[in-house]
């Protein structure tokens, strides 16, 4: 075949192959256009899963009648005019491809009335010839724009065959609509399917209304377990809702992240959040969140993929660190405070002084060098979780203090079956899983001691027989450029050839780990992200194992003083709400709960 220029119809259909996969992608493009047009109200009508009809009406700025035909032409956009604009683009669209692509595979009608103008104009573009009408014709319509897309893929049988059942197509479309509705609280949304209202969301200005919208979209359960976070650093702002670890999921299906108002699914972001939850989730469980990050658009490249789901950060490290730290501190902040904050309470005899805590931690540091499972018990002992309280007994104290002075987790009453601690606080009954709680307290203490140590680097131990490893030369180069960090983490490595390495010293804490596997993973992390969290996670995993072995076993009956000491430790420990596996460590039954249980009216 000789080389020929493709007809524009075919060019558009090829482009449609990228951006118009199914009715849901049509809806996404149309909704994004409405948001870009500054709409505050958007109404969607869908028939037969969007295959028969997908119509979006908005009250945005509208399109001047003279530009209607341009809107349907390829590479025509009002959103950017230069490379400079592209590099700091803040709108959702900018490629000028969506409308002509959709029009080339459907029957499309565009009706628009420019804001402040009293007439609406309409234009058709029917796939087969894909030449917009020469001139717009007068139409009836409110201020804003209506785009109606009928009979998707009617002229491209191969694409049509890929469409699934109406129900499946609808479910994709529904997901897109909900995601866009999550992305802009300030916009009211309605979605009707086959004439029935499916979503009807008012604009949500206050946090309370926003939480209602999230509950309507992500479910009440999520909202009940959600923590609100809001954090800023430099010119990055993160806000949103993250689920407590007790509401983890078996699939990563409740993870919504919006970057400057655009839904993105990015590796850097996903792994930053995952790392933040690392301590409190079982492996294989996934956190749930709805998060909004605002940052300078010039630092993000959204032109990395036609559907713009993927983004590229100019420098991903600060973004990663910022998200991880923000989420981590919110997860860590979940220590016990039924009603009140632990810091308000002054029951000095029961609380450890900072000096005592420091003493515990330094004794812990000495013992880390020779840690095996039984030694875990020693560490727990040294933590003083069950140290005897000075003088007075807890009961005497409990009798003396008024309700306001009772600490958040209260005073112990009994140890049930050697498993649950029952305690009385100002609200009613507290029930604690002693083992889970102790494990968490021990683990956090171990971690503190690890980070206290890391000023001098992890404690190292030489290998009697140095380990030789064969790697790629790129990986061996990495060990040289990152030698300082690797040393900090406890590794002493020598290059022994262009593609081989000798491991001379390793972290004491990891001496039982498979060093070769760990090091390979660490290097591939460094290669992929410029850094590695894997080693730190490996250390944390090890600390968790030690904490578990060192924690009080079920069926050992604790004395009241021991129980009270544990309760006080929990109040001071970050993340004491969940054990290391994300299960709750304690729960509260208030007097109202008990009254309800016994159907006692007050």
CB atoms within 10 A of CB 304: 12
Q: How far apart are CA 150 and CA 129, in angstroms?
A: 15
Per-residue contact string for residues 37-76; x = within reach of ligand ADP by CB under 6 A: x--------------------x-xxxx-------x-----
User: What track of x and - describes contact with Mg ion for positions 37 through 76 (by CB under 5 A)?
Assistant: ----------------------------------------
Contact status: 93 vs Mg ion (CB under 5 A): yes
**Tokens encoding 411:** 């005073």
- At its nearest, how many Å lie between Mg ion and the CB of residue 585? 49
Of residues 10-29, those binding ligand ADP (CB under 6 A): 29
Among 26, 56, 98, 434, binds Mg ion (CB under 5 A): 98
Among 69, 125, 145, 449, binds ligand ADP (CB under 6 A): 145
3-state helix, strand, coil in the chain (%, to 5): 40, 20, 35
The residue among 16 and 535 lying less far from ligand ADP, judged by its C-beta, is 16
C-alpha distances (whole Å) from 377 to each of 359, 458, 552 are 18, 22, 8
- Identify which of residues 28 and 415 has a Cβ nearer to ligand ADP in the complex: 28
Q: Considering beta carbons, is residue 112 or 382 the nearer one to Mg ion?
A: 112
Chain position whose Cβ is nearest to ligand ADP: 93
In the complex, least distance from residue 123 CB atom to ligand ADP, rounded to whole angstroms: 11
Task: Label residue 66 exposed, middle or buried (CB < 10 Å: 0-12, 13-18, 19+).
Answer: exposed
- 278, 540 in Cβ contact below 8 A? yes
Q: What is the DSSP letter of 275?
A: H
- Number of helices and strands in the chain (H, E): 21, 22
Span of 25-33, 229-237, 238-246, 278-286 interacting with Mg ion by CB under 5 A: 25-33
Cα separations (Å) of 492 from 227, 482, 500, 502, 517?
42, 11, 14, 9, 16
Contact with ligand ADP (CB under 6 A): which of 16, 53, 99, 302?
99
Nearer to ligand ADP, 135 or 388 (CB): 135
Residue 212 contact among ligand ADP, Mg ion, none, beta carbon within 5 to 8 Å by kind = none
Strands (E), 295-373: 300-301, 312-313
Among 8, 78, 395, 524, binds ligand ADP (CB under 6 A): 78
Is residue 345 classed as helix, strand or coil in its secondary structure? Answer: coil
How far, in Å, CA of 222 to CA of 185, rounded?
A: 18
Q: Measured between alpha carbons, how far is 217 from 80 in angstroms, rounded to an integer?
A: 33
78 binds, among Mg ion, ligand ADP, none (CB under 5 to 8 A by kind): ligand ADP
CB of 30 to Mg ion, least distance (A): 8
Site residue total, Mg ion (CB under 5 A): 3
Cα 258 to Cα 293: distance, rounded to the nearest angstrom: 6
Collapsed DSSP state (helix, strand, coil) of residue 109: strand
Question: What's the rounded Cα separation, in Å, for the pair 343 and 345?
Answer: 5
- Which of 44, 98, 547, 579 is in the footprint of ligand ADP by CB under 6 A? 98
Contact, 421 vs 558, CB < 8 A? yes
Spatial neighbors of 537 by CB under 8 A, at least 6 apart, are 275, 278
Selected from 33, 156, 255, 580, the binder of ligand ADP by CB under 6 A is 33
Q: Which of 49, 96, 132, 582 binds ligand ADP (CB under 6 A)?
A: 96
Strand locations in 408-540, DSSP E?
Answer: 411-416, 420-425, 428-433, 460-470, 492-497, 500-507
Extract the tokens encoding 315.
């420098």
- Which listed range, 96-104, 353-361, 463-471, 479-487, lies at the site for Mg ion (CB under 5 A)? 96-104
Chain residue whose CB lies nearest Mg ion: 93
Among 95, 324, 482, 549, binds ligand ADP (CB under 6 A): 95
Q: Which residues bind ligand ADP (CB under 6 A)?
A: 29, 33-34, 37, 58, 60-63, 71, 77-79, 93-99, 145
Q: Which residues bind Mg ion (CB under 5 A)?
A: 33, 93, 98
């Amino acid at each position: 075949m000789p080389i020929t220029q493709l007809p524009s119809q075919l060019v558009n259909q090829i482009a449609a192959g990228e951006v118009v996969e199914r009715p849901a992608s049509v809806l996404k493009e149309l909704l994004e256009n409405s948001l870009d047009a500054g709409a505050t109200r958007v109404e969607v009508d869908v028939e037969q899963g969007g295959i028969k009809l997908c119509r979006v009406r908005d009250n945005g700025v509208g399109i001047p009648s003279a530009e209607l035909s341009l809107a349907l032409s390829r590479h025509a956009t009002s959103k950017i005019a230069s490379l400079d604009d592209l590099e700091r683009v803040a709108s959702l669209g900018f490629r000028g491809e969506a409308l002509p692509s959709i029009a080339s595979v459907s029957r499309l009608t565009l009706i628009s009335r420019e804001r402040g103008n009293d007439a609406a104009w309409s234009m058709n573009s029917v796939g087969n010839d894909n030449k917009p009408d020469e001139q717009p014709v007068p139409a009836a319509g409110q201020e804003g724009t209506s785009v109606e897309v009928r009979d998707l893929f009617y002229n491209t049988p191969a694409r049509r065959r890929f469409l699934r059942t109406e129900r499946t197509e609808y479910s994709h479309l529904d997901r897109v609509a909900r995601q866009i509705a999550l992305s802009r609280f300030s916009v009211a949304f309605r979605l009707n399917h086959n004439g029935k209202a499916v979503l009807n969301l008012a604009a949500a200005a206050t946090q309370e209304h926003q939480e209602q919208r999230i509950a309507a979209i992500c479910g009440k359960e999520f909202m009940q377990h959600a923590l609100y976070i809001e954090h800023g650093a430099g010119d990055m702002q993160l806000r949103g809702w993250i689920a407590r670890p007790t509401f983890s999921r078996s699939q990563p299906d409740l993870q919504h992240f919006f970057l400057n108002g655009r839904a993105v699914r990015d590796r850097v972001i996903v792994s930053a959040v995952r790392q933040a939850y690392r301590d409190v989730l079982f492996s294989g469980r996934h956190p749930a969140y709805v998060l909004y990050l605002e940052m300078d658009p010039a630092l993000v490249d959204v032109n990395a993929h036609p559907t713009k789901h993927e983004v590229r950060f100019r420098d991903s490290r600060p973004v990663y660190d910022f998200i991880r730290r923000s989420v981590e501190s919110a997860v860590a902040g979940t220590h016990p405070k039924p009603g009140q904050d632990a810091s308000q309470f002054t029951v000095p005899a029961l609380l450890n002084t900072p000096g005592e805590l420091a003493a515990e931690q330094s004794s812990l540091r000495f013992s880390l060098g020779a840690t095996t499972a039984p030694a875990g018990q020693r560490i727990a002992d040294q933590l003083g979780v069950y140290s005897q309280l000075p003088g007075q007994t807890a009961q005497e104290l409990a009798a003396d203090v008024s309700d306001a002075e009772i600490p958040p987790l209260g005073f112990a009453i009994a140890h049930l079956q050697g498993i649950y601690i029952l305690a009385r606080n100002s609200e009613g009954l507290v029930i604690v899983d002693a083992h889970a709680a102790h494990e968490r307290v021990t683990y956090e203490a171990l971690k503190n001691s690890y980070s206290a140590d890391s000023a001098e680097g992890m404690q190292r131990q030489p290998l009697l027989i140095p380990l030789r490893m064969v790697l790629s030369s790129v990986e061996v180069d990495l060990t040289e450029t990152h030698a300082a960090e690797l040393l900090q983490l406890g590794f002493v490595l020598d290059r022994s050839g262009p593609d081989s390495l000798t491991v001379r010293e390793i972290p004491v804490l990891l001496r039982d780990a498979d060093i070769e596997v760990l090091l390979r993973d660490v290097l591939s992390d460094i290669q992929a992200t410029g850094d590695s969290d894997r080693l730190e996670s490996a250390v944390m995993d090890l600390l968790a194992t030690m904490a578990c072995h060192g924690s009080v076993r079920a069926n050992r009956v604790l004395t009241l003083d021991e129980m009270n000491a544990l309760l006080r430790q929990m109040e001071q420990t970050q993340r004491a709400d969940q054990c290391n596996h994300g299960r709750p460590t304690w729960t509260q039954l208030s007097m109202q709960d008990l009254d309800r249980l016994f159907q006692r009216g007050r």
